[in-house]
Amino acid sequence: MTIAEQKKKLRKQMLAERAKLEKPMKDKYDHWICEEIWTIIVENKHQIVHCYLPMGAEINIYPLIERMLEAGITVVTPKTLPRWQLQHLVLNSLDDLEKGVFGTRHPANSEVFTGAYDLIIVPGLAFDYQHYRLGYGGGYYDNFLVHHPDTYKLGICYPFQRMETIPLESHDVELEEILCKD
């Protein structure tokens, strides 16, 4: 089985596992992760944070996003573009979002952010103990992360998404930390 086939099989497995997570347990994990990330932000005095807007059964970080906005932290979220590229938009409110491709959402009528980040919160389907991630397969985050080698990159996941190793390709980017409540 090729690496691409292994990744495809693992993606399917992780999507099925994540869909089975019962709401009370999901809410408990989501709350814990939001609190832990907030502690990281406060302790490190992060002022510019890039994060995803959750879709489907992804970890719900909306409470964290609200908290960052209330604290005056610059929050930047991605908009999916063609050719595996992301546009990075300043989020001013969760009340002014529009639908994007693949079920994503992004800020409407927002300014493009081109500066440096203190922290990038990275979603994914599986994460290993060497700090690599398996995404959805489009390469969007790998193409983005490679341009921010000095930014602290934090992957977040549910316990069942943590694995000993995941299949790797040369373009996969190592993160600084994986946050998971084991």
Among 40-49, 138-147, 167-176, which range has the highest average pLDDT? 40-49
Q: What is the mean pLDDT of residues 9-26?
A: 96
Identify the pLDDT of residue 50. 98
Identify the pLDDT of residue 5. 94
DSSP collapsed to 3 states, the chain = CCHHHHHHHHHHHHHHHHHHCCHHHHHHHHHHHHHHHHHHHHHCCCCEEECCCCCCCCCCCHHHHHHHHHCCCEEEEEEEECCCEEEEEEECCCCCEEECHHHCEEECCCCECCCCCCEEEECCCEEECCCCEECCCCCHHHHHHCCCCCCEEEEECCHHHEECCCCCCCCCCCCCEEECCC
Domains along the chain with CATH numbers: 3-179 (3.40.50.10420)
Averaged pLDDT of the chain: 94
Residue 100 has pLDDT above 90, yes or no: no
pLDDT in tens, 20-71: 999 999 999 999 999 999 999 999 999 999 999 999 899 999 999 999 999 9
Identify the pLDDT of residue 37. 98
Identify the pLDDT of residue 103. 82
